[in-house]
Amino acid sequence: MFRSNLTFLALAWALLQAHLISIKIPQAHAWPTPTKWLPHFKSHRPPREHYARRNFKTISSIYNLTVYPNQLPIFQAGGAAVPEGLFSREVVGRVDPVGNFTDFDESIEYFFALSPLPQANPVKAAITGYQITEFSSQCRDVAASVVYLYSSVVNPGCADHGKPLPPLKQVAFWRFDKHGAVLKYDAWIPNLNSWVESTTRTNAADPQSRAVTIEQICGATQMLCRGPNAQWGSVEECVTTLSLKNFGSYDEAWGDNIVCRSIHVVLTQVRPDVHCSHVGPTGGGKCVNEAYPANYFSDEKLYGQPTGETFMCD
């Protein structure tokens, strides 16, 4: 009897095993992963903007304001017309071969007020486009860039309107503050003298061209620098004095020369109380001779950091 029961149990177990094999039981790891988690599984914090994208956007916005006529509001109203977030109020920098800029207003004037106006030069030249051809930002606070500034004739209604002119190149290193605004910069413009000569038809080697440039500076100075900002008793006095000075080169604009004054006479339209002395007989502390390499390597004084640290990632 006992043997019969064992036989029955063995048969029942075999049938049960066969039945279990025919059933597909899902394994724990085989459950499908939800394609979209429920809201309480998600972080609702907004995604942070990537610092390289942020820094590129800031640099691009700066160069976009050098394109005519985008710079006109800044030319007319100065720093008050600069959009927030581009430059820190504590910004300082250097642009070789133009000079050092030790505050917000000086930096703004360089980047935007010196961008050529077609009404102010015989060729009607202006910067009409730009392209950032190289860019790198390997950390939040530092970036490097190369930009091509494209210029052309802006003379509506005339046959040469839109005629391409030689481009200008600028290589720059940038340091940003915690808000993403430019805090420090070190830039270089190669072949600036060639660009100026080719776009404005100025020939520093030609005595007649030099004389015309001096007359233009003196005429503009007498018109723009009046009252307490006056520098000369007459245009003739200005021409006589400046004709004895070195003409200079736009590849080395620092110095007691005509080239430096041709830059600062443009800026007298923005802040005559500051720049009129720079085009006067003494150079006003800006257009003065400085022995090389006094200004070119004054990193610690300009940036407030040991040389070699300002544009390195922390």
Q: Are residues 207 and 173 in the same domain?
A: no
pLDDT tens string 172-211: 999 999 999 999 999 999 999 999 988 887 787 889 999 9
pLDDT tens string 129-168: 999 999 999 999 999 999 999 999 999 999 999 999 999 9
Q: Are residues 195 and 223 in the same domain?
A: no
Count of the separate structural domains present in the chain:
2
273 — phi, psi (to 5°)?
-65, -20
Average pLDDT, the chain: 86
> How many whole angstroms separate alpha carbon 75 and alpha carbon 63?
15
Cα distances from 7 to residues 13, 165, 285, in angstroms, run 10, 104, 115
Q: Are residues 211 and 260 in the same domain?
A: yes
Is 141 within 8 Å of 175 (Cβ atoms)? Answer: yes
> In 3D, which of 118, 135, 209, 126 has the Cα closest to residue 170?
135
Domain that residue 210 falls in? 202-290
Q: How far is residue 219 CA from its own chain's centroid?
A: 32
> How many whole angstroms separate alpha carbon 263 and alpha carbon 253?
9
273 pLDDT above the threshold of 90: yes
In this prediction, what percent of the chain has a pLDDT beyond 70? Answer: 84
How long is the chain? Answer: 314
Provide the 3-class DSSP secondary structure of residue 57: helix
- What is the pLDDT at residue 301? 94
Is 199 within 8 Å of 118 (Cβ atoms)? Answer: no
36 lies in a domain? no
45 pLDDT above the threshold of 80: no
Question: What letter does residue 280 receive in the DSSP assignment?
Answer: S
- What is the pLDDT at residue 15? 42
Q: What is the mean pLDDT of residues 208-233?
A: 96
**What does DSSP say about strands 99-101 and 87-96: parallel, antiparallel, or unpaired?**
antiparallel
**pLDDT band, residue 120 (cuts 50/70/90):** confident
Q: How far is residue 199 CA from its own chain's centroid?
A: 22
14 pLDDT above the threshold of 50: no
**What token pair was written down for 49?**
């903007």
Q: Are residues 225 and 131 in the same domain?
A: no
CB-CB neighbours of 269 under 10 Å: 17
Q: Are residues 167 and 268 in the same domain?
A: no
> How many whole angstroms separate alpha carbon 297 and alpha carbon 294?
6
36 pLDDT above the threshold of 90: no
Residue in this structure with the two tokens 């993403």, named with its chain if needed: 180
**pLDDT band, residue 48 (cuts 50/70/90):** low
Lowest-pLDDT range of 63-72, 146-155, 221-230, 287-296? 287-296
Lowest-pLDDT range of 11-25, 99-113, 244-258? 11-25
Q: Are residues 223 and 167 in the same domain?
A: no
Helix segments in 42-191, DSSP class H: 51-64, 72-77, 104-108
Q: What is the CATH number of the domain that holds 79?
A: 3.10.450.50
